[in-house]
Amino acid sequence: MNIEQQPPIVIIGTGYAGYGLAEALRQRDQQTPIVLFTADDGHNYSKPGLSTALTRDRAAGELVTETPLALEERLNIRIHTRCPVYSIDAKSKILSTASGEQRYSKLVLAQGAAPIRLPLQGDAANEVISVNDLQDYRHFRERLQGRKRVSIIGNGLIGCEFANDLANAGIEVDVIGLSAWSMDRLLPQVVGEQLQNRLADKGVHWHLNTSAASVDCIGDGYRLTLQNGEQVDTDLVLSAVGLRARTELAAAAGAEVGRGIKINGGLRTSLPDVFAIGDCAEINGQLLPYLAPINAALPALADGLLGWPTMVQYPLMPVMVKTPACPLTLQAPAADLEGDWHIEQTDGGIRALYIDAQQQLQGFVLTDDLGSERQYWLDRIGCPLEQVA
């Protein structure tokens, strides 16, 4: 009798979400076949480490924690590296990939997000780089060799982390940002300005309320022309204007997508037996592009894939910003919440509490030594102001 083998669970992506899921599945089950596809070389590394690696003087190869071969052996999984998936036939449960067709029993999209490219003018617009994965970082290090000045387009969290890291490495940095102060979506003005001042002390120049219009070659460097007419000469241009969830594959297969691939509380997409996790996924209209939501989702997804449907419980997920010039710990309030920042300057740093219209604590930012108060304020989220102050 010819008993057909059950097709594997297939995971597209070998980032924190993809490899994390393979680990979580193997902790629960040694036998179910697991196959991963990745467009990159499949080396495991910590992506958050990319924006502190210059300070730590780490070359790209030194950031690798495990090779795909070692992962295949340790976890008893199959990894197809440099093998993009081109399309999903959700009805027949077949993928079309660079190495042919692949059947699946259940499919997980862990495709991450890609850097947004600004529509820049100028003869060097294509030479602007982004650092979103290990290969980008390798390229960045090569291009940085012997260079003294770097311009960063984008004054959000990632732009500020790279500004601090480059400044620590002795590079002169210009940051160009659209908003009036850095990390304006996460920080009140006074904290954003404190961060700018501390980085300015390390040699970072700020060009705010404007954006880059064009990049042209000049000598062996570049000239950036800003929308306010200012010109900045530099050796390298780094773009850090945000990421866009990779939704194309899912959308072409008929899945519901918004800013990300839409999933429910059990990480299911609108397609049968197709799930999504990590930077590519959208839950309740929100993207959650951090490690903590992936950590929260992994056990539930692994259980669900193995036949025990489970809903994810997301805890509060504070963010520690890697700007050692001005250490920041924050719990961002929900984007659509009306409220005001209540600011307190203390000897240990700035304490900013976000209080909503019902006078309840909904978020906070703590600088410097006040970061040690993180748990205290996390425990008081949702509490009335008079009980917390």
Write out the residues near ligand FAD by the rule CB under 6 A.
Answer: 12-18, 37-40, 47-48, 50-51, 84-85, 110-112, 132, 158, 246, 249, 278-279, 289-292, 322
Minimum distance from residue 10 beta carbon to ligand FAD (Å): 10
Minimum distance from residue 245 beta carbon to ligand FAD (Å): 9
Minimum distance from residue 83 beta carbon to ligand FAD (Å): 7
Cβ neighbour number for residue 150 with a 10 Å cutoff: 24
CB closer to ligand FAD out of 110 and 300: 110
CB closer to ligand FAD out of 47 and 143: 47
Q: Which residue is nearest to ligand FAD (CB)?
A: 15
Minimum distance from residue 177 beta carbon to ligand FAD (Å): 17
Single-letter residue type at 67: T
According to DSSP, residue 359 is labeled: S
Single-letter residue type at 11: I
Tokens of 82: 């440099």
Compute CA distances 122 → 100, 119, 153, 215, 225, whole Å.
Answer: 40, 10, 15, 5, 9
Q: Which residue has the tokens 């539930």?
A: 300
Minimum distance from residue 161 beta carbon to ligand FAD (Å): 6
CB closer to ligand FAD out of 198 and 246: 246
Partnered with residue 9 across adjacent β-strands are 34, 106
Minimum distance from residue 246 beta carbon to ligand FAD (Å): 5
Distant-in-sequence, close-in-space partners of 237: CB < 8 Å, separation ≥ 6: 124, 127, 128, 129, 150, 151, 152, 153, 212, 215, 222, 224
Minimum distance from residue 53 beta carbon to ligand FAD (Å): 9
CB closer to ligand FAD out of 139 and 223: 139
**Alpha carbon distance 164, 326 (integer Å):** 9
**Alpha carbon distance 18, 321 (integer Å):** 24
CB closer to ligand FAD out of 37 and 181: 37
**Alpha carbon distance 99, 80 (integer Å):** 8
Minimum distance from residue 163 beta carbon to ligand FAD (Å): 12
According to DSSP, residue 273 is labeled: T
CB closer to ligand FAD out of 132 and 360: 132
Residue 334 · residue 196 · CB < 8 Å: no
Long-range CB pairs of 256-260, under 8 A, 24+ apart, other chains included: 257/282, 258/282, 258/285, 259/285, 259/287, 260/287
Partnered with residue 100 across adjacent β-strands are 97
Tokens of 389: 């102050």
CB closer to ligand FAD out of 162 and 360: 162
CB closer to ligand FAD out of 210 and 295: 295
